[in-house]
């Protein structure tokens, strides 16, 4: 009987660990998705800044003669 109780307790602990790990996995997936979204928006923002910077540069002619 003692063995059965011990095994039953271990099963309960393992089930709890499984639930905890699943929760951690969900949190990490959510974090990854958030970071990927942030990286995408940051990258497109840099492209936009570079594009605007190139358009805003004045054209300088070197005619000092």
pLDDT at position 34 over 80: yes
Distance, in Å, from the CA atom of 12 to the CA atom of 64, rounded to the nearest integer, reads 86
- Cβ burial 13-32 (10 Å sphere, 16+ → b, else e): eeeeeeeeeeeeeeeeeeee
pLDDT at position 65 over 60: no
Distance, in Å, from the CA atom of 15 to the CA atom of 28, rounded to the nearest integer, reads 20
Q: What is the pLDDT of residue 40?
A: 82
Block residue for tokens 């969900």: 26
Q: Which two tokens stand for residue 51?
A: 């594009």
The pTM score is 0.55
Confidence grade of residue 11 (pLDDT, cut at 50, 70, 90): very high
Distance, in Å, from the CA atom of 49 to the CA atom of 56, rounded to the nearest integer, reads 10
């Amino acid at each position: 009987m003692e063995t059965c109780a011990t095994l039953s307790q271990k099963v309960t602990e393992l089930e709890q660990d499984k639930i905890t790990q699943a929760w951690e996995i969900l949190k990490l997936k959510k974090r990854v998705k958030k970071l990927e979204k942030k990286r995408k928006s940051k990258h497109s923002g840099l492209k936009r800044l570079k594009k605007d910077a190139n358009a805003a540069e004045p054209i300088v002619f070197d005619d000092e003669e």
